[in-house]
Structure 1
Amino acid sequence: MTEKLPLPKKVTVCEVAPRDGFQAISTWIPTDEKIKIIRRLAQTGISSLEIASFVHPRAIPQMKDADKVVSTVIESLGGIDIRALVPNLKGAERAVDAGVMKLKTMLSATDSHSLSNANATSKDAQQKLTPIFDFAAKKNVTVMGSISVAFGCPFEGKVPVERLIEIISRYDAMGVKEISLADTTGMAHPKQVYESLAILQKEFPEMVYSMHFHNTRGMALANTLAALQRGVTRYDSAISGLGGCPYAPGASGNVATEDVVHMLEEMNIKTGINERNLLDASREISEMLQIKGDSYLLVAGPTSTLHEEKITKQKKVEQ
């Protein structure tokens, strides 16, 4: 295996619950409630937020109020890097009109997933993204490229790294500087993540990578560590482990933000996020959405809290 890089001292955690989390909830979330949740998340110290998906309402009904939600809250989110997922030029125009200055494209690594998601092969779907880049250039808007099912596809199995190289080569030609590698169905394992990143970093040394891990098979935190060992500093996660892909059978939620932050902080890798505030927000949002929530911290609490509770109990005994 390639020699490990020094672990980063600081990383950026992007909260994706308002997009990836909300779209996986079939019950309608009122617009005011979405706005309240986004404002609550902003209080935790997050520095990056994927705020919405500007797709056609028939595709994802939960996102039909994206324009109103974003335009209402965006001015109050100063200092937070805001991005939105867009499938086409129309979505890009809506996002920019609402105030978003960073767009994220939609693209599948495999043809099978792409045909299910975008009704086109992966290569054809990528070429259809060209108008987004042309529009963004005129508006001075940043576009990051995403690759769904980047490590494993429920229809085709393991995705070879050569396929990722083909896709990133085309993104690179379009001027993309940041790539989101999404383990949409939680099929990746740490060795695969580490070795794939080593190859991609050698092939595209100037490209920045952002990791989007789902915890379907319980390997998201291990995969995060593998990416950290390759020096990656950008990670997506969702409060309470919300999320899932409507076009990927068996896909469950994202790795929970509170679990990622807790692991990083225990490793002395700074996130800028207030861990206790985040955990409180996770509980509040889970109650608001009437969901159980799926994170280790919601069950066990932070390691530091257990230590403090033990000291408090000991002092009471001594008194």
Structure 2
Amino acid sequence: MTQKQRSVAIIEVAPRDGLQNEKVMVSTEDKISLVERSFTAGFRHVEAVSFANPKRVPQMADAEGVMAGLAPRYADRNLIGLALNARGAERAVAAKCSQINYVVVASETFANRNQNASVADLVNGTRDVAAIARAAGLPMSISLATSFGCPFDGEVSVERVMGIVEELLKSDPFDIGFADTIGCAVPPQVTEMLARARALSTSIKWRCHFHDTRNTGVANAIAAVEAGVDFLDASTGGVGGCPFAPAATGNVATEDLVYVFNRMGIETGLDIDTLLDTSRWLSGVLGKPLPSALGRAGVFPARAA
């Protein structure tokens, strides 16, 4: 982090990545409310829905309904829709998403299980999704899953990831995000990944998406900010997990990141009390305690009663 960089933009992903692995089916109305609460907390960017096959990810079957309840009222906010293929991108455009997030995978076995395709197929598919986004006048972001490790193939080298990134840059995306899908990364890997990425391009934005499976999410996020990352994904309450990753646990919690960045003097533009209130509400919707550390311990110094 340079001395000039005293802020970071966080993208709220609880409505999509947070909910997709939950067994309790969340109503369309509650999904809309979660996005609304996120906007109230100060978010400008929310990954609201996924246009996955509803048979494989039933929690996201109402993506069009969620967008119908949001798009007409939030033209000034960025409602991101995740797409796994060109058909998903077409659905995102029709549903009036303001950005398409396309998923590429860095490891072969996970690519096959997640999208029933090879890594080469997914990289080639970037061109089709980019063309759809461009025709609709929308930015396309790319999430590169298993950037730091794969539950089936093991270690994923930074050289392999950078080779894929070089191909992805040809589609001129708005941003590329390195996703620690199984929460195996450690800070030095994050630092190296972003340094290598910036050596390839200084014109696009770089994003990181951390899971807290092994309690490294906050440390990795700090390392990413110190390395000059443009965006961080996070999930209110720390909910989340990939349906195709064994023993997947939640994303790094939004409120945990905001707490540590507030204490470091790094601006996020987000209201921590609203985030905590949303986390408590979401805990009630899901009927269980959420992983967020701040939700258990509270803000320090403690608020006056």
TM-score when normalising by structure 2: 0.96
* Paired residues of 2:126 and 2:171 also in contact (CA < 8 A): no
Q: Distance in 2 between matches of 1:44 and 1:203?
A: 35
Q: Distance in 1 between matches of 2:251 and 2:147?
A: 15
- TM-superposed CA distance for 1:69, in Å, is 0.7
Match of 1:180 among 162, 177, 182: 177
* Paired residues of 1:7 and 1:228 also in contact (CA < 8 A): no
Instruction: Structure 2: state its 5+ residue gaps.
Output: none
Identity of aligned residues (%): 35
1:129-160 CA distances to partner (integer Å, 9 max, x unpaired)? 32211111111111111100111111122211
* Paired residues of 1:114 and 1:120 also in contact (CA < 8 A): yes
Match of 1:41 among 17, 38, 43: 38
Whether 2:118 is the aligned partner of 1:142: answer: no
Report the equivalent of 1:25.
22
Whether 2:263 is the aligned partner of 1:248: answer: no
- TM-superposed CA distance for 1:207, in Å, is 2.9
1:49-86 CA distances to partner (integer Å, 9 max, x unpaired)? 00000111112111111001112112323432221101
- TM-superposed CA distance for 1:233, in Å, is 3.0
CA RMSD of aligned residues (A): 1.5
Instruction: Structure 1: state its 5+ residue gaps.
Output: 313-319
* Paired residues of 1:83 and 1:101 also in contact (CA < 8 A): yes
Q: Distance in 1 between matches of 2:237 and 2:27?
A: 19
- TM-superposed CA distance for 1:215, in Å, is 0.2
Deviates more, 1:76-85 or 1:252-261: 76-85
Deviates more, 1:40-49 or 1:73-82: 73-82
Report the equivalent of 1:221.
218
Q: Distance in 1 between matches of 2:125 and 2:59?
A: 25
1:95-123 CA distances to partner (integer Å, 9 max, x unpaired)? 11111121000111111111111222211
Q: Which runs of 4+ in 1 moved over 6 A?
A: none
Larger Rg belongs to: 1
Report the equivalent of 2:106.
109
Match of 2:279 among 274, 277, 282: 282
Matches within 5 A, 1:222-241: 222-241=219-238
Report the equivalent of 1:96.
93
- TM-superposed CA distance for 1:236, in Å, is 0.5
Number of aligned residues: 305
Matches within 5 A, 1:1-319: 5-6=2-3, 8-304=5-301, 306=302, 308-309=303-304
TM-score when normalising by structure 1: 0.92
- TM-superposed CA distance for 1:6, in Å, is 3.4
Q: Distance in 2 between matches of 1:168 and 1:177?
A: 13
